[in-house]
Structure 1
């Protein structure tokens, strides 16, 4: 194995034994998913897939990703407060993308009625890859920022112990000690707790909007348990439950089953398939309320790919973050090439560029949850079909980031152990709380490293493609 760890293993037998020991430790630490056969309310679980060894990551890139996270927190929040910017940026997208249009309609209704919410909470995750440079060190390049249901803060808080254990078994105690401590779970819960406290009602609850079939429930439970330890109670409900039993009083306080709700934490509602007519009505009810939404609808819109593309235009960051040239420079250094596909000369040029060199680009729709992007042949087919249609405005074009592959051993339930060529993606969790116009909290709270075989172009852990990992700083 060229990860730097392969030389520690003598033979296949030792690899198998070590993998079994790693899996047992992952199960003991609670690095768990429900199985796809029994995704809800079942006692049948498996370990979440992970790498046998931590992956080598340049410490300079880890430090850079952490250093820019507070800037990204402020940027997301600035975009969410700038109704004119959101409307202008998303105008072409909402004409052709029904899902973004429905979100934007709710945003407009809330603005028209007047925003009742006074405390704003962001729990986001900015994701990066490491662009390989033949003649210099790798560069940190942002893929996207997740502003809704940024997941795996719970499980990734438990993976350092697994990799420390693996290295300790091999008598590599000094190396084991170098694996970074990482507890995003605590930091995310801290943000929710601060928002709950500022809401100012001691008996109010946190409402977690959950999917009925949720394999990744232990990731969510980790945050719930942190809140319960602070005596903050969490109830899990579906959009359908909100539709049936949610209500607002005359002050637009939100009640669920007769109990007041201080914070609504969305772990659902980021994909079109998650909404029925009833669910859209429930979302509107939640957005109209005084409760702290994480995210509120404007912040969800701030995380769209179209906004990401617009932020890369010259002068836009300066307008949104006036008087902060250092923050602008840190942010811009992480941007990959991003191109509009709106109708007109600029969009035509982007289409021509992608068709001329498809290996250099990726086509991205306005979707979260992994597995939505188009590459290579698929991208060419889509662009040929869309190039003269206004529908192309519902996508953006992005320069493809090309990391240097490395060997890694991926452990998955029910799959043979194999060493494959892989690439990694680093996410940094950010938390901010704003009360009126005052920032009460703005911090980075941990990281998530995911690794996948290079045969997979797109998709995360929940999509069954990537596996959990830890960065080993070098």
Structure 2
């Protein structure tokens, strides 16, 4: 049975907020606000208390993380199937999925590096109907907050150990796990660098972070960079729209930045259409894809994270093809429908208009703020030509618990109740051509929460906050 949340108010709550703020700033649990100056970070939106989560369901998410990594590697290696799926999807989403696919097809005959690195995150909500975790999505590009997640666990453990939740300690320390995601993700990058240096018989290479200009979540990224540096690997950062003017490729297809050989290109950008507005954006993506540097992710790995692929992988027959049709994975899926001309697609269109309150409509987009929920679905679909509906999937809503936690955002304490999403990180180094898996590791966790009145959950997009776990039986 889970403990209730600490009941703090008045001076005790003010004291907690002050000490939380000081700890967060002192330990880099920060983010830039909109329109920031470089010297003006602020405390990242965060919960005051850790949020309860069933111990067995948390460990289930951890235990299956490497199997999801393996599953997606097999999808990528099965190029004919994946290309067929993406080619069909591209008809509906020409401007983004279509362009990613077009760029891949152009790169395909010139690809000289078959080894690829995935830094993945499988997101779950605890469904109160089944009391089990259900997968929200599987992320294959630019997974965020692995650098801040450990700091939230450390923050809540510190506040608990100081008696600020209740004396002597409100929670048992063994029930407050701290994520190892900073080092876990850095380890994935490190292993890719070591593989590259061994195979290319070189040394002193770098990881090139490809980032958004004016990145507000830079401290999350820097934490991984600093962990990587502690292992002896240097990183550099370059804006996505400055790639063409900043890098060089030699006659053996090796990539260089500021005269330094690049072992790994790590994308913390390039996942949204708005990032491809520069005239050289697609040219840059093509250029990087055809170098010897290991991509994290490659174009094909990024495309494997499409919502359409997630929808197809909920089909037992598809999972059986890849050898993963077991109840442990299947039990994490909710019903996901296409919105196409298939029999399932026709059923989905009927459900979307007759029972929209049961569903969320998702496009092929990342980063928060793109989904359409419940009663908004029929009107949104009517606003589109029906030919465009195929760009979306209709996903059964998960029914999460609402917890009485509080969020600290911009100095204000929000007390509206929260719902939470568990992200489980994994790293995968594998050969896209022959399927050889070189490394497959669990890499820590993230808990994100949002006010229960908010549909969207992106922290950087302004919808949610970072949180940590209180495990209970």
Partner of 1:4: 4
Please say if 1:195 is aligned against 2:188: no
Distance 2:311 2:383 in 1: 22
Shift of 1:437: 4.0
Partner of 2:208: 207
176-185 or 269-278, larger mean C-alpha shift: 176-185
Pick one of 88, 95, 105 that aligns with 2:102: 105
Please say if 1:141 is aligned against 2:134: yes
TM-score normalised over the length of structure 1:
0.93
Shift of 1:230: 1.9
Distance 1:374 1:305 in 2: 14
Q: State how 1:303-314 maps to structure 2 within 5 Å.
A: 303-314=305-316
Please say if 1:59 is aligned against 2:94: no
CA contact (8 A) 2:419 2:449 kept: yes
Partner of 2:87: 91
* Regions of 4+ moved over 4 Å: none
Distance 1:119 1:88 in 2: 22
CA contact (8 A) 1:351 1:383 kept: no
Pick one of 414, 417, 421 that aligns with 2:417: 421
CA contact (8 A) 2:416 2:453 kept: no
Partner of 2:341: 343
Partner of 1:221: 222
Q: Indicate the SS of the match to 2:103.
A: helix
Q: State how 1:33-52 maps to structure 2 within 5 Å.
A: 33-38=31-36, 42-52=38-48
Pick one of 315, 318, 329 that aligns with 2:317: 315
Partner of 1:392: 389
Q: Indicate the SS of the match to 1:407.
A: coil
Q: State how 1:241-390 maps to structure 2 within 5 Å.
A: 241-275=242-276, 276-319=278-321, 321-322=322-323, 324=324, 328-386=326-384, 389-390=386-387
Shift of 1:346: 2.9
How many positions carry a matched residue from both structures?
Answer: 459
CA contact (8 A) 1:22 1:165 kept: no
437-446 or 62-71, larger mean C-alpha shift: 437-446
CA contact (8 A) 2:5 2:404 kept: no
CA contact (8 A) 1:119 1:198 kept: no
Please say if 1:402 is aligned against 2:403: no
CA contact (8 A) 2:5 2:405 kept: no
Question: Residue by residue, what CA displacement relative to the aligned partner does 1:378-414 show, whole Å, maximum 9, x if unpaired?
Answer: 211122334x621101111100111121211111114
Distance 2:267 2:149 in 1: 19
Distance 1:219 1:16 in 2: 27
Distance 2:5 2:351 in 1: 41
CA contact (8 A) 2:368 2:458 kept: yes
Distance 1:246 1:379 in 2: 44
Distance 2:359 2:352 in 1: 6
CA contact (8 A) 2:92 2:388 kept: yes
Uncovered stretches (5+) of structure 2, i.e. residues with no partner: none
Question: Residue by residue, what CA displacement relative to the aligned partner does 1:180-239 show, whole Å, maximum 9, x if unpaired?
Answer: 021101011111011101101212211100111111111111111111112211110012
Distance 2:99 2:357 in 1: 33
CA contact (8 A) 2:30 2:219 kept: yes
Distance 2:144 2:206 in 1: 21
Pick one of 447, 456, 459 that aligns with 1:458: 456
Distance 2:155 2:457 in 1: 24
CA contact (8 A) 1:92 1:393 kept: no
Question: Residue by residue, what CA displacement relative to the aligned partner does 1:329-377 show, whole Å, maximum 9, x if unpaired?
Answer: 3221111110011134432221111211111011000000011100123
Uncovered stretches (5+) of structure 1, i.e. residues with no partner: none
Shift of 1:75: 1.2
